[in-house]
Amino acid sequence: MRHLIRNNIAIRSSLALLGVSLIIGIFFSFASYVYFFDDEQKHTIRTMQDLLNSAENTTSIACYLSDKNLANEVVNGISKNNVVSKVTIHSGEKVLAVSKKQALPISFELPVVFKQYPDFITREIFSPFNPREKVCTVNMEINQATVNKNSTDKALFIVELLLFQNLLIASVLSLIVFVFFTRPIKLISDRLHALSPQKGELLEHPENNKENELGRLVNDVNKIIANLVSSLDEEKNLRIQHALEEKKFQTFFENAETGIFKMNSHGELISYNQALVRMLSLKTDDGSPSPALLDLISGQELRLHLMIDAALKESRVVSEDFCIEPGQLKEKKWINVVLHAAENDLLQGLINDITDRKYKEEAAQHLAVTDHLTGLNNRLGLERKLAHLMKENALGHPSPFFLLLIDLDKFKEVNDKYGHKAGDMVLIQFSSILTGILRKTDFIARLGGDEFVVLLCDLTDQSKAIEIAGKIIAEASRPVDVGHGISARIGASIGINYASGTSVSAEKLLAETDQAMYEAKQSGRNTYVLAEYASSQDQASSV
């Protein structure tokens, strides 16, 4: 029952109206009861007064004449009223007449809210001939029980009428509320409960309620339903579109040639596609983070962690090239790693195999520093090599070396006499001589024409440098077959300079060595001169 009352607005509203009406009815009924009870008491007193007034003249004559019979008739007449319990006429000290009847017992004591009235009335009777002469006294006792009963009966009747009226009004109001409010609301609720908004169903307006507040409520609900259906359709389309895009992305993810991965801030791979597996020769695992990338770039971890910090803290895309040796064959491979920050301190990235590009770049770099005729380094190669050595010296990592600047003697005569093709053959032959004499760690460059440079790296022994220069001069003096049974003879003038590792410019070093080589030519060619003794002709040595 409590559940029914709590969940049924019609019953609750009816009970509320009845309860309020009952409380109000009780209050006004009690007030009416007090009022009409008091009014009935007053009416009884007035009635008694009227009885005495009507019998006053007769009583006056009876008392004046001391006529007991007449006095008895008076008291008997008065006693006929049911609210009178006893009437006594006193003439002086004697009782002239008395009438008494059995009084009803008082059934209850009046509450303090009721005004208390006297239980008897006393009236002095004067002579009919002299209004100032008192002839007797009339005492009339009131039957209070009868008065209370009459008052209560009248008051209760009024109370019953008021309660019935309030109950009737509450019932009518409950009916009105049910018909005009709770019933339409319940109909709306029932229809709304059975509604399928995803199918586009709308509420129907309750009868005779299309233009009022309930009608507007239904219109608003229907508008919400329409918006909901539109949102559901849009969401459905978005889900379909998302599924298609996700499928496309999954297909791209699985079949892309680019390695795609997700990585934590420690540089461990969390997820990756098959292209990355093939590229890095990864082993499939149970889904736990893989440190494979860190293992592959061993020795380059700092660069990777710097990339991670830059991507996470600066929210920018970072890219670096790494050289790795994946797989069991440890084949050298170049990869380009691109990182950018994702959610929850994770990173997303791409890895591309740039080995071919790197090899092409290296080939281009090699071509840029290589002499096309001899295959030796050219002037650019020499400048880069010297710049590197000078930089190492400046950083406190000295790499001492000897610099030999070589100019071929009588080379112009070979060109003029036998042609440029013969000259090229001489240059190629001399390049082979240098390659055969020098170590693999030494550096050889052709500056152009018939000028060559040799760097004897990590060498501090001057006698060893002189010995090598002597071998070069000796080998250069041998005849060179230039074809058609013709042999050409050349020589070599060499300037020798020593770079001890102290800070010195490459330009100054070359200038000093060039001066030594010039002194060698001036000394009769086919010889060498040490740069530190270039000013002294006596220090030139011949082979």
| Main-chain phi, psi angles of 119, to 5 degrees | -90, -5
Range 186-200 average pLDDT: 71
| 283 vs 313, more confident | 313
The pairing of beta strand 527-530 with beta strand 491-499: parallel
Do 263 and 250 fall into the same domain? no
Tell me if 375 is assigned to some domain.
yes
- 329 is a domain residue: yes
Confidence class for position 543, pLDDT limits 50, 70, 90: very low
The pLDDT, as a whole number, for residue 501 is: 66
Cβ atoms of residues 71 and 98 within 8 Å: no
Residue that finishes a domain, picked among 237, 255, 273: 255
Give tens-digit pLDDT for 428-487. Answer: 999 999 999 999 999 999 998 899 999 999 898 999 999 999 999 999 999 988 887 888
Which string of b and e fits 426-438 if b means at least 16 CB within 10 Å? bbebbbebbeebb
- Least confident stretch, 64-78, 251-265, 343-357, 387-401: 251-265
CATH number of residue 59's parent domain: 3.30.450
User: Which runs of consecutive H residues, i.e. helices, occur in 287-354?
Assistant: 292-296, 301-314
Lowest model confidence (mean pLDDT) among 23-37, 219-233, 257-271, 282-296: 282-296
pLDDT on residue 513: 93
Number of domains in the chain: 4
Task: Decide if 307 contacts 333 (C-beta within 8 A).
Answer: no
How many helices and strands (H and E) does the chain possess? 15, 17
What is the reported pLDDT for 538?
37
Q: Within this chain, do residues 348 and 424 fall inside the same structural domain, yes or no?
A: no
> What local confidence, expressed as pLDDT, does residue 240 receive?
85
- Verify that 240 and 301 share a domain, yes or no: no
Pair 228, 323 in one domain: no
3-state secondary structure (DSSP) of residue 353: strand
Q: What is the DSSP letter of 198?
A: G
DSSP state for residue 94 in the 8-state scheme: E
Contact in structure between 304 and 312 (CB atoms under 8 Å): no
Is residue 17 situated within a structural domain? no
Residues 232 and 268 occupy one common structural domain: no
82: DSSP letter: T
Which of 516, 506, 399, 501 shows the shortest CA–CA distance to 445? 506
Pair type for strands 259-263 and 94-100: unpaired
Find the mean pLDDT for residues 208-230: 77
Q: Is residue 7 part of a domain?
A: no
The predicted-structure confidence for 4-51, as pLDDT tens digits, reads as follows 556 666 677 777 777 887 788 788 778 877 887 788 778 888 888 888
Q: Considering the domain boundaries, does residue 174 fall inside one?
A: no
Q: Which residues, 6+ apart, have CB-to-CB distance to 158 below 8 Å?
A: 32, 33, 36
Nearest CA-CA partner of 206 in 188, 194, 179: 188
- Summarize the confidence of residues 419-430 as an average pLDDT: 91
Given 167, 186, 214, the domain boundary residue is 167
The residues, any chain, with a CB within 8 Å of residue 164's CB and separated by 6 or more, are: none
Whether the pLDDT of residue 230 is over 50: the answer is: yes
pLDDT band with cut points at 50, 70 and 90 for residue 541: very low
Q: Are 496 and 461 in contact (CB under 8 A)?
A: no
Classify residue 26 by burial, with Cβ atoms within 10 Å: 0-12, 13-18, 19+. middle
Which residues are within 8 A (CB) of 520 and not within 5 positions of it... i.e. 6 or more apart? 493, 494, 495, 527, 528, 529, 540
| Structural domain includes residue 538 | yes
Q: Which helix (H) or strand (E) element contains residue 96?
A: strand 94-100
| Cβ pair 455, 441 in contact under 8 A | no
Confidence of residue 2 (pLDDT cuts 50, 70, 90): low
Q: What is the model's pLDDT at position 534?
A: 44
- Compare 496 and 301 and report the one with higher pLDDT: 496
Q: 515 or 239: which carries more pLDDT confidence?
A: 515
Whether residue 493 lies inside any domain: the answer is yes
With a cut of 90, say whether residue 101 has pLDDT above it.
no
Q: Tell me the residue range of the domain where 211 lies.
A: 195-255
pLDDT (0 to 100) of residue 83: 81
Q: Are strands 443-448 and 401-409 parallel, antiparallel or unpaired?
A: unpaired
Q: Please report which helix (H) or strand (E) contains residue 219, including its range.
A: helix 213-255
Mean pLDDT, range 214-238, rounded to an integer: 80
Q: Which residue has the higher pLDDT, 30 or 90?
A: 90
In sequence order, the 6+-apart residues with CB closer than 8 A to the CB of 85 are 100, 101, 103, 141, 142, 143, 146
Q: Is the pLDDT of residue 338 over 60?
A: yes
Same domain, 414 and 484: yes
Mean pLDDT of the chain: 81
Same domain? 406 vs 510: yes
For 107-165, the pLDDT digits (tens) are 555 554 455 667 778 888 888 888 888 889 988 888 777 777 777 787 788 888 878 88
CATH code for the domain of 331: 3.30.450.20
Active-site residue list: 450
The label of the residue with tokens 């009847």 reads: 101
CATH number, domain of 396, equals: 3.30.70.270
Sequence-ordered list of residues with C-beta below 8 angstroms from that of 167, at least 6 positions apart, any chain = 18, 21, 22, 25
> Residue 465's pLDDT is what?
94
Domain assignment of residue 13, yes or no: no
Is 262 in the same domain as 336? yes
Q: Are residues 331 and 431 in the same domain?
A: no
- Its sign, for the CA torsion 274, 276, 282, 285, is negative
Query: What are residue 39's phi and psi, to 5 degrees?
Result: -60, -40
Q: Quote the pLDDT of residue 112.
A: 46
The reply to whether 419 and 462 lie within a common domain is yes
Structure confidence at residue 250 as a pLDDT band (50, 70, 90): low
Are residue 444 and residue 521 in the same domain, yes or no?
Answer: yes
Outline where DSSP puts E strands in 163-228.
Answer: none
Q: Using the 3D structure, point to which of 340, 359, 378 is the last residue of a domain.
A: 359
Q: Flag whether pLDDT at 75 surpasses 80.
A: yes
What is the reported pTM? 0.45
Name 5's Cβ contacts closer than 8 Å, sequence gap at least 6.
Answer: 11, 12, 15
